[in-house]
Homo-oligomer: A and B are copies of this chain.
Amino acid sequence: MNAAPPPTSRDVARLAGVSQATVSYVLTGKGSISPATRERVLEAAGSIGYRPNLAARSMRTRRSGRLAVITGVSAADHQMRMIVGASQVANDSGYVMETSSVDGTVKDRTERVIDLAAGGQYEGILTLVPVLPEALSDVDGRSPVMAATAFDEQMHSAGELADASLLEVFVRALVEAGHRRFMHIGGPEEYSSARARRATYLACVEQLGVESLGVLGGEWAAEPARQAVLALPDHARPVAVIAANDLLAVGALRGAAERGWSVPDDLVVTGWDNSAFGAYTMPSLTTVDLDFQAAGRHAMQLLVAALRGEEPPARGSALQRIVWRESTGGAAPPA
């Protein structure tokens, strides 16, 4: 396919009238090279479009320069956004980033990740899907594995996507608006974000002394949310539903509409994620906007810092922000 073989560092050396070692020193910035020589080499390299052969470099340095990002098979829009952010950081840091998707149960996924880590092809691994803590250790002889969303009790979770503290703002504002009866529709237990939202909900209703009709759901799917609302006793109105994401919230809206309940009069709903459709449902969804791309960037920064033994970078601006819309009626942000 390639007519002429691509230029090598030897070609550059010959053209610049120096040795191959000098070319290498210039390009890696390691030796101390006189500005004049440096200039000549750079120009020669540019003129013939030289690009280092990464395979050769990696073989010699015994560093692959490659990072893996593990995604789930159940495609989620925010995984994609995190990938975009992570890949920016990886490339800027001189790594090539590969994505690998894993399927099956938590157990299956954990094994795949351990396999990948043991394979030694990658200098580091960032997983966007939950895996068991055993995959996250960075024992010798394996690529370090870091999780963006994981069992955070292991202290291995990167990023603050799982931060559920804004949920308290929802509950407080709704209590302020007069609501006394709440319900939570949660996501899968294996997601630390889902667990955090559930825990924050429970702590909140407890602390504020309002009634909780329970915690339903357990999947990132609309149907259980719809069912939960349909199963509510008629005299329960008004109910405030705190859903773990926007898809669940849409299911709740649908359930309310099917039984003739008005939103926000009989039922108010909050979502999470600020999905594109949420501003256009009837009524539109109050939700939490998450900057997944920034989260992906930060997660990758943490991995790269760990790899290089550098100080982990501080979290930049806030990743989360509440978007108040129609589904919560007049409930307003508390100042």
Point out residues on A near B: beta carbons under 8 Å. 1-4, 6, 49, 51, 53-56, 58-59, 64, 71, 73, 75-81, 83-84, 87-88, 91, 96-101, 118-121, 138, 140-144, 221-222, 226, 246-247, 250-251, 253-254, 257, 275-277, 279-282, 284, 292-293
Contact = CB atoms under 8 A, between A and B. Distances in A.
A77 B138 CA distance: 32
Nearest to A78: B75
B3 A141 contact: yes
* Copies of this chain, whole number: 2
Given A51-B121, A71-B80, A87-B101, 6 more contacts: A54-B55, A88-B101, A96-B98, A222-B279, A247-B277, A254-B282
The 7 closest A-B pairs by CB, nearest first: A75-B80, A3-B140, A75-B81, A254-B280, A55-B58, A77-B77, A80-B80
A59 B51 contact: no
Nearest to A1: B140
Contact of A77 (B76, B84, B120, B281): B76
Contacts of A277: 222, 246-247, 250, 275, 277, 281
A51 B251 CA distance: 48
Contact of A280 (B80, B84, B120, B253): B253
Nearest to A96: B98
B253 A6 contact: no
A109 to B, nearest CB: 14
Contacts of A118: 49
Nearest to A276: B247
29 contacts: A1-B140, A1-B143, A6-B120, A49-B118, A51-B119, A51-B120, A53-B59, A54-B55, A55-B55, A55-B59, A59-B59, A71-B80, A75-B80, A75-B81, A75-B293, A77-B80, A83-B101, A97-B98, A98-B99, A222-B280, A247-B276, A251-B280, A253-B282, A254-B280, A254-B282, A275-B277, A277-B277, A281-B282, A282-B282
